Structure 1
């Protein structure tokens, strides 16, 4: 959003908007919903955001108002955002271009009343963040119209074509460059020199060198694009390294974007996915180290991953994601959906003991002993490490095999 903020600051003089908005309930159309709408330009409205945040009771609801501005340029669709009457920013320009006309038309159809919805304010060390929770249906707009592509995600998506190139042949050894790499503690320039030597020699250690470069850059301010490029180059040379894939996804999770995460999963080798999937699922739950993905978007990310696994005939990922879906459905009280998902996991080859335990418990209650025995035999080809769980599955299998039918 840095570029958007700079553009907003540059163009603020083109619009005439008062710094404070006085409204009454009669002037507003209340549209609370589940679509998360990011606000841009918070950096330049920090005093107003703090006034909105601390001018409200701790348990009070923050009220946002969308105000289509009167443009001085014919093609402008700027929409200002107010919270508690304070001007806190704008809809991002890429969003306003798509939705500005619809917002203006809706307000006109409502007698000039403004759209209002709940708002959330997050105070981060890098600055405040304002998020609106809007119902887009009355506007005739899909939720996707309000989505933005984070700059990190856009930069990474632009680099991924490198990983669609053939894996290079790395069969040589550059002894001196390897020695320097093992003792490297100096400058980035020196490390890049070592990388160049390894790359020219087709030494497979070049992947490790690029990973070291990425890990060196990732905590340096203003080095986002350089960090992403180093991670992608590390993967170009070491395509099947689970550690590099997980490191890159962890870094990318600071600005989670479902299409970007889906692209990463889609081009990842099957061999690394057993390590990558738990991280992606934790991102979907907001349980990863960053925890930045809106939990309401988690089901969409998991569904996208499952669809990709099915399309690519990736049985291992299909089994993992189907089992996960089954456990979530059971926890939500939807047992029929849980059974359907567990069966899909078993059909995909799952040997997960927890899945086998829950599914066969249900199958035995239904008197479906033959299917339960089949599920248990499949699970016990990879015996669970927990002794009590393994013994429970073995005992149930013995019972199913002895029971007629």
Structure 2
């Protein structure tokens, strides 16, 4: 432990492996973005949007609650063990998606996928935060999410191409078999646990002597602090929820909306790929930018740009394909601005002793957005049509950005042991 140091440069090898692992994690979500809604309508002849979107609702609810307990599991069993468990639970998913004989198998696959993602993605986030320390959190989160959502987009594109050549099932899901096996092997054989790095950071900020285990408050206290008591953490949590509401809505609505407009499978694959690819690659820039100019400006502007993207898709200014691509690029840019800044802000505001739990609570609210977005889209689409689901998501995104602008305190340079240089809120840890 005497040679253990915080920093991206000091821990670049483990950090790089974790980036690779998160690319495999993201690829598992990308399996579903283009193909699965169309499996529901074309293969199983499901006529209700709400029933089709049920797989997204199941995924979002399960992932949200798994995120909530992931920090507790990591502190009890180590981050590495939780990461490996996430991959083990994900092993059946591509087989259920590719060969499941009824829609219930697809929903069941998404229950497993939600648990797997909640464990594996949460651990790659926490392990990178542990390794880099406070100085490069924006960059660390940018690289982590770039790998994950870049893989989401590329996999969505590949599955769209495979489906256009070979059919909707099972060939597009062969990619998932590779992702799960590779992710599990790398996690078991090459990844090291990082919990000791969080303890090192806690000792460096003067709250806990080196070598001692810091006091960790109960989850109920962390949940309340992150959800509503701390105004900054509240504003970040609600922005995360609305951000993934957009993703959950687009996940179910876009394939059906653009298929009805005459866009072919390959074109839908491009529309579904552009959003997460721009979102992912953009974070390589926006992550470091959050370390330079602050978290709040990126969050506010990112939400506003997403609202404009919804307006473009909802109104339609050209051919359906062009409209979808332009709107998806705007959604990707806006989300790229928001995503690493939100995670960095939570990491800034939470003490290392309860940071993993606070990140879990934030991710609980954020990934609840998948279920909320899919449920909202299903209900609104049934009553008013698919386009109105896009309009409502855009309005909620605009309101969320205004809430961040009014209530959030900047967290960049905040020291958890003292008031932030920027005037951010401080929190007393219960003893």
Category of TM-score, reference length = shorter chain: under 0.3
Give the TM-score normalised by structure 2.
Answer: 0.23
Q: Which has the larger radius of gyration?
A: 1
TM (norm. structure 1) is: 0.24
User: If each structure's strand is expressed as a fraction of its own residues, which one has the higher value?
Assistant: 1
Relative contact order, higher structure (CA 8 A, sep 6+): 2
